[in-house]
A = this chain, B = another copy of it.
Amino acid sequence: IMEYAKKKGIDIGAVGIGVPGPLDAQTGVVKQPPKLKGWKDVPLGSIVQKEYGIPVWIENDANVCALAEKWMGSGRNIHNFIYILINEGIGAGVIINDELYQGTYDFVGEIGHFLCYEQGKFQYLEDIAGVDVLLYLANSQGLSVKSLEKMAELLQQDNQIAKSIVKKIATWIGSAIVNAIHMVGPQTVFIGGKMVVLGEPLIQPIREIVSHYLFGEQAVNIQFSSISSNAVPSGAGIYAIVHWLEKKSSEI
């Protein structure tokens, strides 16, 4: 990207990066994302800053997705929402009163670490419902599936094994969404990340469990992110622009 910009004569003033949490957004240190093997306390912010000599901001990938949905997507007119990013890991960004809610710790929205009691023991949501788990389950049950796209094909062909695996995973994700809703009370929950290619068979069971278990008067809308495929880079860019502007205005 940097070289492309150079060629085109575009002046890049800041870099924004979205990475799986947990991380320290203040210092730009990526701690130890459970599903990013080998990463531990990587000072990503200062590495990139040294390389290019411009300001760098990093933030949790689900958080920047929420920002992107707020600025560019269907979240523009929604004051309170949760953005759930479902990849190998699962995270959430929370928008409250039109702003990214970051809490005071960098663990906010770590919905992938919600505990689920499955097969007689407590397990993390992302360890029973992440993309890698879904593909693993499919293959262990006799389907030969290397990608989510292939899984989506099987779903379209009405493959019962594929449907039951997706339904089970979607139900777990839905139960975590119910819990998250009870903590922060959003109007809408956006679903983003790689898993959205599964379409209706994914979102339908989520909607069912949510509407079944919420208090009667809550009508929380569950929908796919409108900017799913570009959410992380777009949101990281927005994040950097906002911080760059803040920095500039504080320098005046």
Say yes or no: B181 contacts A179, CB within 8 Å: no
Say yes or no: B31 contacts A217, CB within 8 Å: yes
Q: Is A122 interfacial (CB 8 A cutoff)?
A: yes
Which residues of A (110-143) have their CB < 8 Å from a CB of B?
Answer: 110-111, 113-118, 122, 124
Say yes or no: A117 contacts B175, CB within 8 Å: yes
Of the candidates B175, B214, B215, the one whose C-beta lies within 8 Å of that of A122 is B175
Given the complex, which residues of B lie within 8 Å of A114, measured CB to CB? 178-179, 182
Q: Is A32 interfacial (CB 8 A cutoff)?
A: yes
Name A97's closest neighbour in chain B (CB-CB): B104
Say yes or no: B117 contacts A185, CB within 8 Å: no
Q: How far is the CA of A113 from the CA of B182 in the complex (A)?
A: 7
Given the complex, which residues of B lie within 8 Å of A122, measured CB to CB? 175, 209, 213
How many copies of this protein are present in the complex?
2
Given the complex, which residues of B lie within 8 Å of A104, measured CB to CB? 79-80, 96-97, 185
Of the candidates B80, B109, B111, B178, the one whose C-beta lies within 8 Å of that of A103 is B80
Which residues of A (123-165) have their CB < 8 Å from a CB of B?
Answer: 124
The interface centre, meaning the residue of A116, A215, A216, A217 with most chain B CB atoms within 10 A of its CB, is A215
Q: Is A47 interfacial (CB 8 A cutoff)?
A: no
Name A180's closest neighbour in chain B (CB-CB): B183
Q: How far is the CA of A135 from the CA of B208 in the complex (A)?
A: 32
Say yes or no: A111 contacts B182, CB within 8 Å: yes
Given the complex, which residues of B lie within 8 Å of A94, measured CB to CB? 183
A interface list, Cβ under 8 A from B: 22, 31-32, 79-80, 94, 96-97, 103-111, 113-118, 122, 124, 175-176, 178-185, 209, 213-218
CB pairs A–B below 8 angstroms (19 shown): A31-B217, A32-B216, A80-B105, A96-B103, A103-B184, A106-B185, A107-B181, A107-B215, A107-B218, A108-B182, A108-B183, A110-B182, A113-B182, A114-B178, A115-B179, A117-B117, A117-B175, A183-B183, A183-B184
